[in-house]
Amino acid sequence: MSSAHEAYSTHVVSNQVPPLVGHNTAGDPVLREGLEREGAAWALPEIDELGRLAGTQEAQDWGRLAERVPPRLHTHDRYGHRVDEVEYVPAYHQLMQTAVEHGLHAAPWADDRPGAHVARAAKFYAWNVDAGHGCPISMTYAVVPALRANPELATRFEPLLTNREYDFGLRDPETKRGLIAGMSMTEKQGGSDVRANTTTATPQTDGTYVLRGHKWFTSAPMSDLFLTLAQTEAGVSCFLVPRVLPGGERNAMRFMRLKDKLGNKSNASSEIEYDAATGWLVGEEGRGVRTIVEMVNMTRLDCVIGSSAGMRTALTMAAHHAKHRSAFGKLLIEQPAMRNVLADLQVESEAATTAMLRLAGANDRAIRGDEGEAALRRIALAVTKYYVCKRAPFMVNEALECLGGNGYIEDFDVARIYREMPLLSIWEGSGNVAALDALRALAKEPHTLDAFLAEAELAAGADARYDAALDRLKKEFTSFDDLELRARRIVGQLALVFQGSQLLRHAPAAVADAFCSSRLGRDWGGAFGTLSPRGDLDAILERALPV
């Protein structure tokens, strides 16, 4: 009876894929090769430690739980007192603690070793178990160069921002072991047009300013410090606003509501009002946009890192699924059509990650005073932020489709990555803002185009399709008519040439050839999985599987 029952059981589980655990997310060969090139191979032991942790079931559960149980806003306590607190599940704090202890926040600013900022980029890439907590980690990293516009404030707070201790709670920031920072720029009537802001800042006799106004997006509202923009008589100015004032009194920041977002639910994004909040001026009055743009440039780099990491994670999940799932008599990874799709996804991922690592290296060297690298970073970061963050949702969607119906189910985690991807194209300037910013840089700082073309010329002669693409790009600058109308066209070409130059110089021949044939030579159907059958798909696929 028992054997008959087993033979006719309605619940036999077969042909399902084992969980993707026990792998090293830092094992990506593209990442490791880039670390060697960009002078940060010395950090591999710590990056591997973090990558192995990210591949555990425990860390993945932290990310899943933090997203499934989003933060809650408490505006008042049980007695009716205003408290303006956000409550997080313990998993969120585990994620934050891990990120801070491994120096993903502002720690590189206190590290004199060449490659410190590249190492930090690699850690940010490897620790991709939850995107939401990456927002305050990113802003804490980015606040330091802007804060240095006020040396006195930098002296007070930078050691706490760079310290590797996560010390959550509302207390006087100078009594804590470590600090987290945020940014509060946009308002409901202006969005990216921050010069339209209506928040005001009035100077006081003690050197502080009183801020009044409503901010439409303030992420991570439980951070200790915020850079914010407000209007003075001189124009838009930048201020440091602490959540808690010296001495322990809470600053007058009122949380109106938390946003109900498409993704990134583990991070609290809020609307806040400054009701006579106290702030300190950072930089010159009237030059607030110029001051805070130092922070914006750093967070734009993290948009590229986050997009590249999401693309790689989704690809890894798709490749793992195809390696274990059978259909029509073969494993999926043996099916020619699926092999073309996965190889194409690998080319896209590798192009994004290779470009990201070159930018991380340029950032590291620019911070250390290299003016040529600073010029390259200025333009290459803007165009890569535009293009990679635009490509990421399309690529992750295709990776999700590799899992079939399972990909559409939240239990399989690819859906969570997919919901996150559009944010990184919007954050710090959506498509048109990013493209126009790149063109403004070229117009106002012509040496940035010189730096870009000098980088591109390093790969000239290696591939005829690349050379032709480079020539087409140069012709775009022979006329400046309708420049804004052509903004996306030009910036997309800049991004592709930048990616192609890096792959031709640093990637295996099979990857570079596939990129040049499809993205530059246009031997491509547009949809993923339409690479030329003449390419070496086997060599490309070897780089897609999890380690």
Which of 240, 268, 285 is the last residue in one of the domains? 285
Task: State whether 443 and 538 are in the same domain.
Answer: yes
Question: pLDDT 10s digit of each residue in the chain, 547 long?
Answer: 455 555 567 888 899 999 999 999 999 999 999 999 999 999 999 999 999 999 999 999 999 999 999 999 999 999 999 999 999 999 999 999 999 999 999 999 999 999 999 999 999 999 999 999 999 999 999 999 999 999 999 999 999 999 999 999 999 999 999 999 999 988 988 777 777 889 999 999 999 999 999 999 998 999 999 999 999 999 999 999 999 999 999 999 999 999 999 999 999 999 999 999 999 999 999 999 989 888 888 999 999 999 999 999 999 999 999 999 999 999 999 999 999 999 999 999 999 999 999 999 999 999 999 999 999 999 999 999 999 999 999 999 999 999 999 999 999 999 999 999 999 999 888 889 999 989 988 888 999 999 999 999 999 999 999 999 999 999 998 887 888 899 999 999 999 999 999 999 999 999 999 999 999 999 999 899 999 999 999 999 999 988 7
| pLDDT reported for residue 180 | 98
Please enumerate in sequence order all residues whose Cβ is within 8 A of that of 451, keeping only pairs 6 or more positions apart, or say none.
372, 375, 376, 378, 379
Q: Are residues 297 and 217 located together in one domain of the fold? A: no
Asked whether residue 279 falls in the same domain as residue 330, the answer is no
Q: Is residue 387 part of a domain?
A: yes
Question: DSSP H helical segments within 368-445, as ranges?
Answer: 371-402, 414-426, 431-444
Q: Give, in degrees to the nearest 5, the angle at Cα 401 between 504 and 261.
A: 95
Kindly give, in sequence order, each residue whose CB lies less than 8 Å from that of residue 363, ignoring residues fewer than 6 positions away: 117, 118, 121, 298, 301, 373, 377, 381
CA distance 235 to 477: 34
Q: Is residue 5 part of a domain?
A: no
Determine the Cα angle at 339 with ends 333 and 344, to 5°: 135
CATH value at residue 354: 1.20.140.10
The confidence score (pLDDT) of residue 151 equals: 97
Residues 6+ apart with CB under 8 A from 31: 122, 125, 126, 353, 357
Q: Are residues 253 and 295 in the same domain?
A: no
Alpha carbons 406 and 139: distance in angstroms, whole number: 34
What are the Cα distances from residue 378, in Å, to 24, 95, 109, 360, 428? 32, 31, 19, 12, 15
Q: Is residue 181 part of a domain?
A: yes
Rounded distance, CA 21 to CA 162, Å? 31
CA-CA distance, 228 to 217, in Å (whole number)? 11
pLDDT for res 2: 52
Q: Which of 240, 264, 285 is the last residue of a domain?
A: 285
Asked whether 347 and 540 are in contact (CB, 8 A), the reply is: yes
Does 22 reside within a domain? Answer: no
How do residues 264-284 score in pLDDT, each as one tens digit? 999 999 999 999 999 999 999
> How many domains does the structure of the chain reveal?
2
Same domain for 309 and 279?
no
Q: Residue 328: inside a domain, yes or no?
A: yes
Reported as half-sphere exposure (CB side, CA atoms, 13 A), residue 188 has a value of: 8
Tell me, yes or no, whether 212 and 361 share the same domain.
no
Nearest-5° Cα angle at 541, 491 to 389: 25
Compute the C-alpha angle 389/183/439, nearest 5°: 45
Confirm whether 94 is domain-assigned: yes
| Per-residue pLDDT, 481 | 84
In a domain, 453, yes or no: yes
Q: Based on the fold, state whether residues 257 and 348 are members of the same structural domain.
A: no
Mark which of 285, 311, 338 sits at the end of a domain: 285
Is the same domain home to 472 and 357?
yes
Structural tokens at position 541: 């696929």
- Domain co-membership, 203 together with 336: no
* 147/259 same-domain check: yes
Beta bridge partner(s), residue 87: 72
**Is the same domain home to 306 and 257?**
no
Q: Do 250 and 300 fall within a single domain?
A: no
Q: Is residue 372 part of a domain?
A: yes
The reported pLDDT for the residue numbered 185 is 85
Give me the CATH number covering residue 210.
2.40.110.20
Domain that holds residue 311: 290-542
Q: Is 348:395 a contact under the CB 8 Å cutoff? A: yes
CA atoms within 13 A on the CB side of 177: 8
